[in-house]
Amino acid sequence: MTARITTRRQFLALVPGVLVAGAAAAQLDPNIQALRAAALEAAVRKITGGKPVRAGKVKLQVPPLVDNGNTVPLSVSVDSPMTGADHVTAIHVLTEKNPQPYVVSAYLGPRAGRASITTRARIADTGKVIAIARLSDGSFWSDSVSVVVTLSACLEDGLI
Amino acid sequence: MSPETRAMQDDEVTGPAVFWLLDGEALWKRKEGPAGAACASCHGPGSMKGVAARYPRVASGRVVNLEQQVNVCRTERQKVPPWAYESRELLAVTAYVARESRRMPIRIEWNEATAPFLEAGRAAFNRRQGQLNLSCSQCHDDNWGKRLAGSVIPQAHPTGYPIYRLEWEAVGSLERRLRGCLYGIRAETLTYGARELVELELFLMWRANGMKLETPAVRP
Amino acid sequence: MARVVVNVPARAKRGEVIEIRTLAGHTMETGFRRTQTGELIPRDIITQLVCTYNGVEVFRAELHPAMAANPLITFTTVAAESGTLEFKWTGDNGYAATQSASITVV
């Protein structure tokens, strides 16, 4: 930085977000929100190749109000006989508001016996969690849950 | 604590604190120092049952927490350097030791020896401090159960330390948590091992007398 | 130390669907966090878990930064035959971990 900061306005201009007066700290900048929504859409399109995704068969279980967004237990199960002729080949979990949309992609087959996975995810902000299953006949099914994520009451700013 | 968080705490095989316990077990058995002594060399199997439920401890006119006692053993018995506060090793061993007291009731005695330290801890708990001029008791005695921003205010009983805190995504000590609280009310963050901090730990454990230890607990 | 834990039942009936729990010790640094001075902390995560059953892949997972630290993945498989389940984790910066578990299928 070669220019000298001589006025408060110039100083404040260096601090991103400060000039957006009145915006709540936890709310995403609308531009960033739009970018993330677009990224989610692109991710879904990459998974499905543009084919339609129908709601159903998939059950996504995640608490509607999380204790802490750093570690959110979730599980996905898909109603499928898991036979050679009719089984789930993949389960994808995505979020709406995270900096990138993917959480996990699991690849299964008839040897799974049941289409069911459990894991723990990071969810950055209140929004949807989405599970998409690909079946052996090439069809896609999904479920989504809206999750409320609050910040910790006192932030420690990296204090250890 | 939500049912999901409780389930993580009850998961003894794949709960998030499991690695610290495994590391703790390995370190407990590791021979160190000129005499090649491990913790296990002096402390036989099962010997740590109930120990953590009675810490901090007052001995020879000083109050000592579990972390400090581990380091006393290391420097005076094993003749090796102490582990740094909040180091992976110290957290692992204290978690391993405290886990031996899981489900046992906390037992801190108020007697002639412990009284001065407990009085000091109690005074600290009740004293307004920091830029926000808040005392621990204002939140944790007067307003527990109510919400501060999105979080429920707990009664602040240290039943699960060292604890896996989701906010940290790691195991941490009671002192780390207390420093976090002090930072939150904009008070001086006492250094690890400070007498005032250990006195407060002693008081908090006494205040939780009878409650069962849950180490390693999982909390938001 | 690349620490991992797997939980596989030691015995199962042929054809029974068994639950397998896996846990890997890893901070799963997202690559989105910044230091106090504003520098981006580089991504460092586990990217894949593969499970083979007597050499045949029965499960694979791709992990992304939105997986919580110390990633837990629980899945199922059919107890087809006695043998060994092998688990292999791989990730950024050459991270690799393996674990195996035996199962007796009656």
Q: What is the pLDDT of residues B15-44, one digit of tens each?
A: 999 999 999 999 999 999 999 999 999 999
The DSSP output letter for B69 is: H
Query: CB within 8 A of C35, min separation 6: which ones?
Result: C41
Calculate mean pLDDT across residues B151-165: 95
Radius of gyration of chain B (CA): 17
pLDDT band at A16 (very low <50, low <70, confident <90, very high): very low
Calculate mean pLDDT across residues B102-125: 97
Structural contact between residues C103 and C12, judged by C-beta atoms closer than 8 angstroms:
yes
Q: Give the minimum alpha-carbon distance from C25 to chain B in angstroms, rounded to a whole number.
A: 6
Q: List pLDDT tens digits, range B38-93.
A: 999 999 999 999 999 999 999 999 999 999 999 999 999 999 999 999 999 999 99
Residues of C in contact with B23 (CB under 8 A): 1, 3
A12 or A23: whose pLDDT is higher?
Answer: A12
For CA atoms B116, B117, B118, B120, the dihedral sign is positive
From CA A80, how far away is CA A117, in angstroms rounded? 14
Calculate mean pLDDT across residues A122-130: 94
C-beta atoms surrounding B95 within 10 Å = 28
Q: Hunting for tokens 């900061």 — which residue is that?
A: A5
Contact C68 B169 (CB under 8 A): yes
pLDDT band at A11 (very low <50, low <70, confident <90, very high): very low
Residues of B in contact with C21 (CB under 8 A): 13-14
Q: List pLDDT tens digits, range A104-124.
A: 999 999 999 999 999 999 999
Nearest to A128 by CA among A87, A94, A85: A94
From CA B80, how far away is CA B25, in angstroms rounded? 18
Residues of C in contact with B27 (CB under 8 A): none
Q: Hunting for tokens 């930064």 — which residue is that?
A: C65
Q: Hunting for tokens 């400090």 — which residue is that?
A: B68
Name the 3-class secondary structure at B28.
Answer: helix
Q: List pLDDT tens digits, range A17-65.
A: 333 333 333 456 788 888 999 999 999 999 999 999 999 999 999 999 9
pLDDT of residue C43: 97
Instruction: Please tell me if residue C56 touches chain A, with a CB cutoff of 8 Å.
Output: yes
pLDDT below 50 — which residues of chain C? none
Q: For the full predicted model, state whether its pTM sits above 0.80.
A: yes
pLDDT of residue C1: 52
> Quick one: closest CA in B to C22, which residue?
B14
Nearest to B93 by CA among B144, B132, B126, B51: B51
What is the crossing angle of helices B115-126 and B195-207, to 10°? 90
